Structure 1
Amino acid sequence: MISLPTIVALLALSTAARALNPIDVRGQDFIDTVTKNRFVLVGIDYQPGGQGAYNPTNSQDPLRNGTVCLRDAALMQSLGINTIRTYNVDPSLNHDDCASVFNEAGIYMIVDVNAPLAGESIDRSNPGSSYTLDYLTRIFGVVEAFKNYPNTLGFFAANEVINDVPTAKNNPPYMRAVQRDLKDYIAAHSSRPIPVGYSAADVREVLQDTWAYLQCAINGSSSDTSRADFFGLNSYSWCSGANYQTASYGALVSMFGNSTIPVFFSEYGCNKPEPRTFDEVLALYGPQMTVLSGGLVYEYSQEPSNYGLVDLYDNGTVQLRIDYDNLQAQYNKLNVTLLETSNATATALSPPACSSGLITSSSFSTNFTIPQPPAGAAALISSGISNPNNGKIVPVTNTAVPMAVYASNGGLISGLALKPVNGSNTPNGANTGGSVSVSSGPSGTATAAASATSKGAASDPLMHSSSTNSIAAALAAILTFWML
């Protein structure tokens, strides 16, 4: 007969939240710390509502509403997404529901620590004036809010602080200073290392120097925390009629060929012509570009800039765009085995020592004397910010999407639900847990293969999924029998 402690343990296990494996940086690759497989980003930039969705006065940001995140995570899971990038989060808000939903879907998060309001980012026109204790308190708050989620892959310390040639002269030392401060804070207050990196504008005149400046180690020291852990590039060079060479992808492979940190597209997907066909996907994830660790398509929702994969409506409903279908068709062609295979040489690379000889442009900074933190920062890093808002993974609630979702042909998608997976989500359903698959159904409507709970259950966002309930019910029956 099963012992009571065993039954209690099984009951706890039946309702426990899944946890994605933390991702580590080893040389040129991201590595799953448990499976030891290479991790390549098949990702999307996620800011529903655009920059305006971040509004601290109204307690709003893109990861605030768990029901909305459930809807979007189910559609991303169908697409084959394993990573999102989220801009402009409020560190004071509770993000547990959204983080947990993405975790259950097998989707990691890279979170920008900055926001567009004054004092919440480094001012590229005058970096020293914005590098303050209040600023550090703000970005450390983002770390506190997201550090406990196992699917927090990393933090962007800055985005496009160098956006033209002139800004390459004075800004680089401050970019490294922010990276140092974030990494020192994480080391002091997180139970695990979390990578910190930079998202660069594609200013080709200084792009190589930006990467070289950020990836080198000052004095050749392996303990240099101002060094970036990864390097993102916002790239839109593959447009109408482009190919591997004309889009300069070959030049990027040559540029980053000896990178000692992971490099990936933190934004990509030119929107000319429309709808987008995403021909670059097979090149990005193909054998010619294994030096890059994938990329994040810009962007999930249709905003004024006209890069969306889906249309969002005020009543919560969604319609897929042709762009969504086209991207999914490209993802379905990917060789997942190739993506997961690491190169021992790439993971063993050591960074070069910082020196002016690494810099090729006279317009770029050769100053490797990193600014000291503002007064009070050392104590803040040591003791931590006051009253931190620490996020935590919570059991995922009902997996059925409660709002209407429509295919690109206008047909209603029925039974759409998030399907919990073990490990990261993968394109074309290669993950052993599978992913939701959206396809055209009879009479022009769309159907979704799903693990679905009933539509009636969807009205209660706090109800556990049917699969969890069935396990719990079975164990409860065992418990009842044991007690007789």
Structure 2
Amino acid sequence: MFRAIQFAILSLFCATTFAVQTVVIKGSDFVNSVTGDRLQLLGVAYQPGGSSGYNPASGVDPLSDGGVCLRDAALMQRLGVNAIRVYNVDPDLNHDMCASIFNAVGIYMLIDVNSPLAGESIDRSAPGTSYDSSYLNRTFAVVEAFKSYPNTLLFFAGNEVINDLPTSGTVPPYMRAVTRDLKNYIAKHSTRSIPVGYSAADFRETLLDSWNYMQCTTTGDDTDPSRVDLFALNSYSWCGDSSYQTSGYDVLTADFSNTSVPVFFSEYGCNKPSPRIFTEVPVLYGPLMTPVLSGGLVYEFSQETSNFGLVTINSNGSAQLLSDYDSLQKQFNTLNVTMLQGLKAGNTTVVAPKCSSSLITTQGFSTNFTIPAVPPGAQDLINNGISPAPVGKLVTVSSTKVTQTVQQSNGQVMSGLAITPLADDQSNNPSGASPSTTTTSSAPAATTSKKSGAGSVRSSLSVLLGVVTIAAFYSSFI
């Protein structure tokens, strides 16, 4: 009997595995599938080594080394982010530990299905030559590798593939085709619907046409699988101590005010002048923009040659925070997270526009909404699944303490840096903690996106104490 009680206790621990809640899309909002609260993205781009550092032959990618992810997750949790964008992943590697670590600290993952390598992305100069079954097999493999993690928020079908006037005439139909194929594959082979979208260049001549082309429906409703579930843009128009009007944020907000899908910044954070002061943060998450946009992701976490980093990562695994990390943390800590993440979704009944040439205003931008047919052999992949298919699953995160040396921006070594696993119904948010110029013994307790989170923890502990009491009672008879 006592062994049975012991098993019940262990089962309870397993049942209270820390995890974020999956996110769904309702109209133009990201919505927590359990609470019904709208989700605002406070994220960072995450590609240690940069795009040129992606090398499948190396046996590593940004989400394959648990020790590295633990270090970076602790710093991100402390910073206050709730999402990362990962551009280049190898679907053949195991990502269970990294996905589980980010899940434990309440951080969602936005995954690009493409890579910079030939055959692993659409060639914008000749899209028809790269859209084939081999390419789609690779994108489906990324879906298989990440579909089972609850913190996989979405997949990007493309990133800045339309980046000038010439590409705007040929690429758009292929972006809709890839979106269709990914959504159809997910519908057949995933236990939950995972959104698919497009990340656009902030090329003003084609930006709104790209949005209208990708969000419109050819079927008259949102069942059209070639229609994106979300639209994002890489925006660097706010530089230094700018303003809502000077940066053009007011124009962007007005332009997207009638969007039928969530819109957010998939990259932001102009780095000239330097150091950055991130005065756009209170505006992006303030009353002028949150009714329309769903937040954004700062470019980028690690310092690369382009000089956008928040953290310098050294070859021996040690790291040092940069002043931009401190500045961003200070701005995040000014936000009213309870108000920001506690709003109920409001834009849930927005109707998608019907695809028509009248939506396109730029001469030369494609008005062809008859998208390419599925390449030979690819429909079998969609129907039957790829083989062999990668399998991902959450695993136990038993180690929480960071072992690498991490320095604050002033050079002082951070002591006791660790992640703080959150309860089931929580995602990470700014905590209001002091900036990184002070020491820390652990990651500060994060503000949660569900008001009942603490109650859930107390409830779980109460049940656990009850089980322990019962166990003690029965053990007295053994």
TM-score normalised by the chain length of structure 1: 0.90
For residue 330 of structure 1, what is the aligned residue in structure 2?
Answer: 331
CA distance in 1, matches of 2:411, 2:31: 40
- 8 Å CA contact retained: 1:169, 1:365: yes
CA distance in 2, matches of 1:103, 1:251: 35
* 2:475 aligned partner, one-letter code: F
Provide, for residues 16-45 of structure 1, a one-character-per-residue CA deviation record: whole Å limited to 9, x for no partner.
Answer: 532211100111100000011000100000
* Alignment partner of 1:123 is 2:123: yes
Equivalent residue of 2:430, what SS?
Answer: helix
For residue 433 of structure 1, what is the aligned residue in structure 2?
Answer: none
Q: By how many angstroms is 1:186 displaced?
A: 0.3
- 8 Å CA contact retained: 2:19, 2:426: no
Equivalent residue of 1:287, what SS?
Answer: coil
For residue 12 of structure 1, what is the aligned residue in structure 2?
Answer: 11
Query: Which structure 2 segments of 5+ residues have no match?
Result: 446-460
Provide, for residues 420-443 of structure 1, a one-character-per-residue CA deviation record: whole Å limited to 9, x for no partner.
Answer: 01234343328xxxxx876444xx
* 2:168 aligned partner, one-letter code: A
Q: By how many angstroms is 1:350 displaced?
A: 1.6
Q: Structure 1 pair 343/258, CA: closer, same or farther in 2 (3 Å)? A: farther
Larger displacement relative to structure 2 (474-483 or 290-299): 474-483
Match runs of 1:122-201 below 5 Å: 122-201=122-201
For residue 413 of structure 1, what is the aligned residue in structure 2?
Answer: 414
Provide, for residues 311-358 of structure 1, a one-character-per-residue CA deviation record: whole Å limited to 9, x for no partner.
Answer: 001111110000000000000011113322546551111211111111
Q: By how many angstroms is 1:448 displaced?
A: 3.5
For residue 54 of structure 1, what is the aligned residue in structure 2?
Answer: 54
CA distance in 2, matches of 1:360, 1:316: 50
Identity of aligned residues (%): 56
CA distance in 1, matches of 2:443, 2:282: 27
* 1:447 aligned partner, one-letter code: T
- 8 Å CA contact retained: 1:53, 1:60: no
For residue 43 of structure 1, what is the aligned residue in structure 2?
Answer: 43
Q: By how many angstroms is 1:15 displaced?
A: 4.2
For residue 389 of structure 1, what is the aligned residue in structure 2?
Answer: 390
Equivalent residue of 2:288, what SS?
Answer: helix
- 8 Å CA contact retained: 1:53, 1:62: no
For residue 302 of structure 2, what is the aligned residue in structure 1?
Answer: 301
For residue 243 of structure 2, what is the aligned residue in structure 1?
Answer: 243
CA distance in 2, matches of 1:129, 1:284: 39
Equivalent residue of 2:420, what SS?
Answer: coil
- 8 Å CA contact retained: 2:20, 2:427: no
CA distance in 1, matches of 2:428, 2:157: 27
Q: Structure 1 pair 343/11, CA: closer, same or farther in 2 (3 Å)? A: closer
Equivalent residue of 2:103, what SS?
Answer: helix
- 8 Å CA contact retained: 1:438, 1:447: no
Q: CA RMSD in A?
A: 2.2
* 1:388 aligned partner, one-letter code: A
Equivalent residue of 1:154, what SS?
Answer: strand
Q: By how many angstroms is 1:475 displaced?
A: 5.6
CA distance in 2, matches of 1:424, 1:53: 33
Provide, for residues 130-162 of structure 1, a one-character-per-residue CA deviation record: whole Å limited to 9, x for no partner.
Answer: 000000000000000000000000000000011
For residue 427 of structure 1, what is the aligned residue in structure 2?
Answer: 429
CA distance in 1, matches of 2:83, 2:235: 17
For residue 464 of structure 1, what is the aligned residue in structure 2?
Answer: none
Query: Which structure 1 segments of 5+ residues have no match?
Result: 431-435, 453-467
For residue 104 of structure 1, what is the aligned residue in structure 2?
Answer: 104
CA distance in 1, matches of 2:330, 2:435: 11
For residue 481 of structure 1, what is the aligned residue in structure 2?
Answer: 475
For residue 273 of structure 2, what is the aligned residue in structure 1?
Answer: 273
CA distance in 2, matches of 1:407, 1:396: 25
For residue 91 of structure 1, what is the aligned residue in structure 2?
Answer: 91
CA distance in 2, matches of 1:59, 1:392: 19
- 8 Å CA contact retained: 1:91, 1:141: yes
For residue 213 of structure 1, what is the aligned residue in structure 2?
Answer: 213
* 2:82 aligned partner, one-letter code: N
Q: By how many angstroms is 1:451 displaced?
A: 8.0
Select the residue among 437, 440, 447 that pairs with 2:440. Answer: 447
Q: By how many angstroms is 1:397 displaced?
A: 2.2
TM-score normalised by the chain length of structure 2: 0.91
* 1:96 aligned partner, one-letter code: D
Q: Structure 1 pair 224/311, CA: closer, same or farther in 2 (3 Å)? A: same
- 8 Å CA contact retained: 2:140, 2:185: yes
For residue 288 of structure 1, what is the aligned residue in structure 2?
Answer: 288
* 1:427 aligned partner, one-letter code: N
Q: By how many angstroms is 1:9 displaced?
A: 2.8
